[in-house]
Amino acid sequence: MIDLHSHTTESDGTFSPAELIAEAKRIGLEALAITDHDTFRGYEKALPFAKEAGLELVCGIELSTKFGGATVHMLAYFPWTPPSAEFRLWLDQLLESRRERNRSLIEKLQSIGVDITLEEVEQQGRTLTARPHFGRVLIDKGYVGTMQEAFDKYLDESAPGYVQRREVPVDDAIQRVIAAGGVASLAHPVRVAKNNWDTLAVWVRKMASAGMGAIEVFHSDHTPENVAFYQSLASQYRLTITGGSDFHGANKPSIDLGTGYRKNLAVPYSVLEGLRNSRR
Ligand SMILES: [Zn+2]
Ligand SMILES: [Zn+2]
């Protein structure tokens, strides 16, 4: 069993890179990809621990992109060579736009009477400060009882605190990933196109023609019907299959590393072999 989608404390997970490697080892994973949002820091910090544990670690990342008016998460994997310096520079710019978003989010929350400061939220995050870090502070200060409530009341796209982050057009992100030596994979397609299968098929075709090389068929949120449909899309558009739990530790407590939601996941090693063999 492998897991190609996981997050550390360097983005919005609660396991440090070292803890994540220990967990992967404990449950007997054959390979793990760390796919933090917008940063390779977690992967890089995990490398020596993975080496020591004899665990195969795959370099990955998750990017927030725009398709039409919608937000689409795009995973990128670098199974052949490390990502280019140019790509890393581009990531630094993305992190800066996230900081801008955070400053506006604080202002907005303060304007609706929430007593919260940027310093408090940044203490929760490491390389980047994401919405779950805001959620933690809202819980600690008693504004909400749970992370779900924090998102519903303040942080979700429909909530009063929501601030749009500048996101990259999906084509641009795919091209940058390819230029950096990687392969782009559509993350959790169940959350794409409002789970309308016909619309999703059209979107996937467009992304595939823009150079997207893979699709995340296996994911904790996917039903067996979803998996079968995404598999058919993969063969139709000649996309490589990827899969993983999207593990976030205590920020998504019902999701386990490797086995997903109530053991609905068991991604075989052959998926990683397929990814390796997909070099065009
Ligand atoms: Zn995602
Ligand atoms: Zn994710």
Q: Going residue by residue through the chain (280 aa), what tens digit of pLDDT does each one get?
A: 999 999 999 999 999 999 999 999 999 999 999 999 999 999 999 999 999 999 999 999 999 999 988 999 999 999 999 999 999 999 998 888 888 888 999 999 999 999 999 989 988 877 778 899 999 999 999 999 999 999 999 998 888 877 777 789 999 999 999 999 999 999 999 999 999 999 999 999 999 999 999 999 999 999 999 999 999 999 999 999 999 999 999 989 999 999 999 999 999 999 999 999 998 7
Q: Is the pTM higher than 0.85?
A: yes
Closest ligand to residue 248's CA: 2
Same structural domain, 73 and 190: yes
Q: Which ligand is nearest to the CA of 244?
A: 2
Tokens of 204: 């996937």
Do the domain assignments include residue 160?
Answer: no
Which secondary-structure segment (H or E) carries 255? strand 255-256
Task: Report CA(113)–ligand 2 centroid distance (Å).
Answer: 31
The answer to whether residues 178 and 269 belong to one domain is yes
Q: Separation of 46 CA from ligand 1 center, angstroms?
A: 20
Measured at the CA of 140, the angle between CA 137 and CA 142, to 5 degrees, comes to 110
35 CA from centroid of ligand 2 (Å)? 7
Distance (angstroms) between ligand 1 centre and the Cα of 179 equals 22
Note whether residue 223 is domain-resident. Answer: yes
Output the pLDDT for position 167: 80
Q: What is the pLDDT of residue 182?
A: 98
Whether residues 263 and 238 share a domain: the answer is: yes
**Are 210 and 82 in a shared domain?**
yes
Compute, in angstroms, the gap from residue 187 CA to the centroid of ligand 1: 6
Asked if the structure places residue 269 within a domain, the reply is yes
Scored b (16 or more CB within 10 A) or e, 215-252 reads bbbbbbbbeeebbebbeebbeebebbbbbbbbbbbebb
pLDDT of residue 159: 85
